[in-house]
Structure 1
Amino acid sequence: MRISEFSNGKAEARFRTAYKRALTRLWPGPRTSLDVPTGFGTTRVHRTGPAEGQPIVLLPGSGGNALMWHGHLDDLARRHPVIAVDTVGEPGASVQSAPVRDGRDAAAWLEDLLAGLDLPAVHLVGCSYGGWIALNHRIHHPGRTATLTLVDPAGLADPGRRFYAWLIAGGLAALAPRPLRPRLAALVGNSAILETELMALMRASLGFRRRLPPATTLTDEELGRRHGPAHFLLGERSALHDAREAAARLHRLVPDARVTLVPGAGHALPTDDPAAVLAGILSTAAGQAS
């Protein structure tokens, strides 16, 4: 398998410039950036918040990086150390060196990262594809995460044509002139396209060739092996899956987990209802997941 990389040096330079600008504008507060070696490449993380306490580790969705969490960072950092991750193989500041073939490999990458950061127990938060990685990590490497918060995670059901149509529609809407985007965001059900800086970064990443495995649906046996406090936040109108069917499956297979359907929200849950996501993360980290 090949690895994710930029198509050429010019595309990489364009993205690096856009990333630096977005980081400065979206995260102007104090932070420390670290490059952590793993078996799959060097992973960039950004740390903020107090020095003591169990950290909240944030994993982005597919095609994103640590900056997707910019709207939540200040509130989270008032209570916890926060580590926002540029997932290896996604467009960000991490550099992939070995292929990620499946969920087990993705979990191994995350285990390498947490071990490299010397974090024995974390509050792990994953959005969409990041949620799939977080679930795989809990399955294959139990014991390192104190709690899980899964924000409309992938892997609960097979995404149908509706999801890919939603992705395409959102991508096209993001390329539209800025004055048109509020109307288009409502039309396609994707509030993320209103994030001006992130959309500029997305356009700068068009020269990035993402080669990560698809988020395969977790089996009943795999979901049943997930032990420990977990909170699933599902967008009621998610294009990724039927939220009510996903919730019913979770209640059946993971009866100790907390499952919240967020009314009116879709798959772009962090921007559709940021307050619900913030409350979900903080309540889970406070030990209220189950």
Structure 2
Amino acid sequence: MHARTHSQPESPSPASTDESHDAFEAAYDTLIARWGVPVEAIDVPSRFGATRVNACGPRDAPPLVLLHGGRANSASWYANAAVLARTRRVYAPDTIGDPGRSRNTGQPVRARQDLLDWLAHLLAALEIQHTDLCGHSFGAWLALAHTLRAPRGSIARLALLDPTQCFAGFAPACLWHALPGMLRPARGNEAYLRWETGGADLDPDWLALHRLSAAVPTGKIIAGRRPKPRALRALDVPVLVLPAELSRVHNIDTVAERASRTLPHAVVDTLPGVSHHMIPFTRPETLNKKLTEFFTSAV
């Protein structure tokens, strides 16, 4: 469901663990190479452990922080980074506890507040005091939750890509199909992905990384909680909400209606022809155009 619903993989032998890890690293590097621009890998320490941030774009450009969906990592922005980096210094972290290159070797990430503390510390460590913010799926929940708590003026614009647990709950069918992946990630996740995307042909490099992610240790299950309507009504930040037309994780009409009704400065549009998991790499031209127009608009 691209929410942050993690469970530990089945215990493989040490040899197979090493082989899976090497394969995962190679698949990750393959997608990073497809960003199409020079990428700077930054490791940021914190009390939770080290966070990998992939950065690109002019160092003196306004910052844009990209937060990927759950059970994913920042390599998934490969179809968007080069376009966004034309006008922004892009920072794309691997959310700590997800299958990426961040390592939760310090304080365990056990609750929503831990993730919010992690993100706030990360932005401070990168000396990002004023930024645009974009999140997909659970990353959209994290971006919205951070913005609601951040100092006034620190977030200039906020983009939410098919956001989960922000304006609507998960569809019952989504939870039913996602359950096997929570119990047996190596098998259930792929069946769930086929269901949610309607069996669409997916980028083979992305699919390879997705499959290998099941073998990477991940953190505790953490679910987003929908913000109170009064908190959303008080949000004095331009927000772009982009539901995916074919999303099966929630009712996109409910997402659009509640976002329009509760956010005072919202633009609500639809990403045509894509499901929840096909963002951001399927038909990226449409997404990139919408994001570029939003992030270069006057505040």
TM-score w.r.t. structure 2 length?
A: 0.82
Inter-partner Cα distance in structure 2 for 1:105 and 1:226 = 22
Inter-partner Cα distance in structure 1 for 2:240 and 2:210 = 29
Q: After superposing the two structures, state which structure 1 stretch, 106-115 or 254-263, moved more.
A: 254-263
1:267 counterpart residue number = 276
- How far residue 82 of structure 1 moved from its aligned partner, in angstroms, is 1.3
User: In the alignment, is the contact (CA less than 8 A) between 2:235 and 2:264 conserved in 1?
Assistant: no
1:90 partner letter: D
Q: After superposing the two structures, state which structure 1 stretch, 276-285 or 202-211, moved more.
A: 202-211
Relative to structure 1, is the Cα distance of residues 195 and 258 closer, same or farther in structure 2, using a 3 angstrom cutoff?
same
- Unmatched segments (≥5 aa) in structure 2: 1-5
- How far residue 147 of structure 1 moved from its aligned partner, in angstroms, is 1.1
Is 1:50 matched with 2:58? Answer: yes
User: In the alignment, is the contact (CA less than 8 A) between 2:196 and 2:248 conserved in 1?
Assistant: no
What are the superposed Cα offsets for residues 164-205 of structure 1, whole Å, 9 maximum, x if unpaired? 3454799869859xxxxxxx95984365x6122222222222
TM-score w.r.t. structure 1 length?
A: 0.84
2:228 counterpart residue number = 219
Inter-partner Cα distance in structure 2 for 1:137 and 1:187 = 28
1:150 counterpart residue number = 160
- How far residue 149 of structure 1 moved from its aligned partner, in angstroms, is 0.9
Q: After superposing the two structures, state which structure 1 stretch, 148-157 or 222-231, moved more.
A: 222-231
1:33 partner letter: A
Inter-partner Cα distance in structure 1 for 2:121 and 2:253 = 34
Q: RMSD between aligned alpha carbons?
A: 2.9
User: In the alignment, is the contact (CA less than 8 A) between 1:236 and 1:244 conserved in 2?
Assistant: no
Inter-partner Cα distance in structure 2 for 1:51 and 1:257 = 29
- Unmatched segments (≥5 aa) in structure 1: 177-183
Is 1:285 matched with 2:290? Answer: no
Inter-partner Cα distance in structure 2 for 1:264 and 1:186 = 15
1:164 counterpart residue number = 175
Of all paired residues, the percent bearing the same amino acid is 31
Inter-partner Cα distance in structure 2 for 1:110 and 1:25 = 26
Relative to structure 1, is the Cα distance of residues 226 and 4 closer, same or farther in structure 2, using a 3 angstrom cutoff?
farther
Map of 1:122-137 to 2, 5 A cutoff?
122-137=131-146
- How far residue 67 of structure 1 moved from its aligned partner, in angstroms, is 0.8
Question: Which one of 184, 200, 206 corresponds to residue 198 of structure 1?
Answer: 206
- How far residue 92 of structure 1 moved from its aligned partner, in angstroms, is 0.4
Relative to structure 1, is the Cα distance of residues 116 and 224 closer, same or farther in structure 2, using a 3 angstrom cutoff?
same
1:80 counterpart residue number = 88
